[in-house]
Structure formats: structure tokens, C-alpha cells
Amino acid sequence: MVCLALLINFEIANCQISEFPDSLVIKTSPLNRDLVWAIDSLIRLKIFSFSDKQKGNIGYDRQDENKSLKFSEIPDVLFEYRFEEMNRVSVIHFDYNPDVRRYIDLFANKRKEGYSRILGLSRIYFPLFEEYLEKHRLPLELKYLPVIESALNPLARSTSDAIGLWQFKLHSSRMFNLEVNSVIDERMDPRKSTEAACQYLEYLYSIFRDWQLALAAFNGGPGVVRNAIQRSGGKTNFWAIRNYMPQQTQDYVPAFIAAAYMLNFADKHNIEPIYPDYDFWHTDTVMLSYTIRLQQISDIIDVPIDALRFLNPQYKADYIPEMGRPMILMLPSEKVLPFIRHENDILGRKVEVMDYHKAKSNSASTENKTKNFYTVHAGDFLHKIAYEHNCSIEDIREWNNLKDDTLTPGQQIIYWSYQNGHENGISTDSIKTDMNVSLAKFSEHTVLKGETIYTIVQKYKGTTVKEIMNLNGIKDEKAIMVGQILKIPTYVNSPPATIH
């Protein structure tokens, strides 16, 4: 893409997959070309292995309320009714018009399988986007924006070297303190790039006070929108000044609206998600302070190297460098304990650790514990129940003879706990069962503007989000205020990795 921004320019991912001969659709603008290439690139991501094997069971022939109508035969009034539903609960206005319909046709008809993969990837990234949008008090509907930026592919790279979910260019990333060097590229870090995108969206809205104009500026830069307003004689409606903008910015807002529609009504077009092998709720982070190669991790704990690259896209040289601060390693949840157990093998150095098998043999112990029952509610999942009741997924599986993680609303789950959550007067939340760690003292941290418990944890080696929440009586990790003083546990023998 040609750089149009006077301040900052974000661009659509272009993965250049030439074997798709019908890649140019609608108009041949840079946005349309790059958007199609971005969607097609998802077919090459190697994190849909399970779903690809099961794809024969994913139905695209199921009849919906559109019956057997071809897309071209669906009446406009049906779309208009659905858009009214969306607008009732959104501060961003979603207009329906022929341009928006053409993008819906692209997603629902011409790139149906690709959009199924976008639906699946939304399980990884939408909870994360919502967390940061809520933190900045921004409309949650902005979570749809990376769909047209990168098709939710964190590895996406455009022809002009815009990178990541939000497609930052190099000069833009420096304005938001995203570190880019030969071994790390924080434009591809889902959390840090989302924080930067939220800051930029907040800034753009403060200028234009209209979300459609802010979105146009997100694509073309604020200068493009200011010039269009001036050339139109001062009009501030996107559709009224649209023709004064470059073609790619003209297309950007209709594409965003269509993407939002499809995320809400994909099932009405017989599109079902193709899920990736991992989702947001079944991943966890380990904080590291030493150099380690992703291939070492892959070999020891049996996680495909492509999965590690996808979950940790910021490490572009395939290793985690020592940067003088804790670095994040994202892993599938079930691989965190194996990583800790085999950390000596991965590093090739001696670290004193508790015997894993002994700890595991005691993991589902009911000694000195009280039996309790929990009724499963809609939306519950095993990790959530284990977290809320201070036990592990493995505990619940063994206590209830569960063969898999499937739960049904109304199902009774047995769990065992110490009275008042204590064992011999010591909080079970502060017991380190995986490593030989001794607690020395507490330090204090004053919450600064923009900080979350997650970002605070990164500053203190050896502690976790859950520990800080329990120690300070915090029930909701978002419920901290600027100036609040938090107690932070400090360890004599800090572990080489922190689980949270």
C-alpha cells in the first residue's frame, strides 16, 4: 500500500498467495486485493490440524432462514432488519448499502471457508481485544477491526511491511514504544500491539468525535480525513465525504461494517467456525528471564514448532532473547507443567525442583479436605471452575471420573477444598508445589495510569496474577485504580519461570 497517513498508517495484510486466481474481487483497490490475500493466507496456517481432519463433519449444506436462496436473491430488507438489531446495541453506526453488501458477499459467499477460519480464530483474540477495549473505555465493536486488517493472523505481513494483527508499520510502532529489532518484533505481540491500537483509536476519536471518521483515519491517517472534510465544504459524515478519500480508505469502512455483520450473523449464511487447535481460555503464560530456543521447547514438551510460532509471533528469530526483563512464553495450558518439569532438560542446567511424580500423585488428594458440589452453568468450562475453587483441571477430572472436558449445564461437579482455603493455616494459593521456593517478604507497588495486574506481574519475577489478586483481596483483575497500593510477594529463591 502507498503510505497515505500524515501521522500514522496502518495497512491491510498482504500474504501474496498467487495460486488463488480469483483473488481480485469487487474493485481492484489495494484494500480489496490485500484483504482477499489475507483471508486466503489462513488456509496455510498450521494450527487448524484437528479441524481440518474433522472438516467433513462441518456442515455447509444446513438450511437456514434464507432457505435455498442464492446470495444474490437475499432481499435487502432482511439485511436491513439485521443491521437494525446491531445498531440497537452499538455506539458505532452500521449502515447497510450496496457497497457493504458487496463485502458481505465476499465474506459469506466468495471466501466462505476463509471466514470460517476467522470465526474460529476469534475465540483466541476477541477475549483479548475486549479486555483492552474495555480498559480504554472504547466500543467493544472495534474488536472486528483486525478482521479486515489481518484476517486475525498475527503473522500477517503486507507488501509495505505492515505487520501483525493490527498492521503497524515500523515508524508507527516507534511512536507507541513497540520494540522492533533483529530478534523481537512487538508489532506481532497480540497484547502490546492491541494496547497500541487502542491508544491510537482513542486519539483519533478525540479528533473527529465520530467513529466512522475515526476508522477511516485509522486506515488512511487523520490528514486524509481532514482533507476530505475540507474539500467537501466542511461535511463530517463519512458517506458524504467518502469520494474525497483514496479508494482504499473509501472501501475500509464498508469492509469493517460487513466484517462486523458476518461475525454476528455467519450462521444465517450457513457458515460455521473452523476452530484452531488452541483458544484463549486454554492457553497460559510463563515468564522467562533467559535465552531459549522455540525448537528446544518443541522437542521436549511435544508442541509443534508452528504452534509455538503462532502463539509467540513476536519472536521472529525463533528464540526468546534475554532482554533484562521478564519475557512472555505462551503455551497450551496443559503444557505449562510439563515445561516446568522439563525446564532443566530444556536449559541443560541444574535447577533444584520438586519431584514431579510425587507432586502429581498428591494432586487429587482429599486428605484434610471437605467435599463440595458445584452446579455447572451455561458458559462454564473446566479451567474456569478449577480456578474459582483453587484446584487443578486434573483434580476435577480425577474426582469426577471425567473422560474429557465436556460439561453440561445442570451437571454436578465434585471438588474438595481445605476449610477457608487453608492447609495447616497456610493459604494453599501461596504454596509453590512445582518448585522449591521460600517466601521472604512483601514489597509494595503503586498502580500507575494504564497498568493492569497482568502488566504489573511482568515487573516482579516469581509472582502471578492469581497470587496478587488473592493477597490483596481482589475479585476482578480489572478492578484496580490509579494510586492503589498493592502488596507484591517477594521470594528468596525466585523460580526461573512464573506461571499465571
| Residue numbers annotated as active site | 149
Amino acid at 292: I
CA distances from 260 to 107, 115, 215 (A): 11, 12, 13
- 445: which strand partners? 486
The number of residues making up the chain comes to 500
Taking the mean position of all CA atoms in its chain, how far away is CA 448? Answer: 24
Nearby residues of 439 by Cβ (< 8 Å), 6 or more positions away: 430, 489, 490, 491, 492
Radius of gyration of the CA atoms of the chain, in A: 24
For residue 490, report the phi and psi dihedrals to the nearest 5 degrees. Answer: -120, 130
List CB contacts of 299: < 8 A, sequence separation 6 or more: none
8 A C-beta contact, residue 291 and residue 319: yes
Q: How far apart are CA 386 and CA 392, in angstroms?
A: 5
Q: How many CB atoms lie within 10 A of CB 333?
A: 15
What is the Cα–Cα distance from 487 to 492, expressed in whole angstroms? 16
Distance of CA 445 to the CA centre of its chain: 27
Residue with cell 473452523: 274
CA distance 315 to 300: 19
Whether the CB-CB separation of 49 and 194 falls below 8 Å is answered with no
Contact 416, 373 (CB under 8 A): no
Q: Are 45 and 310 in contact (CB under 8 A)?
A: yes
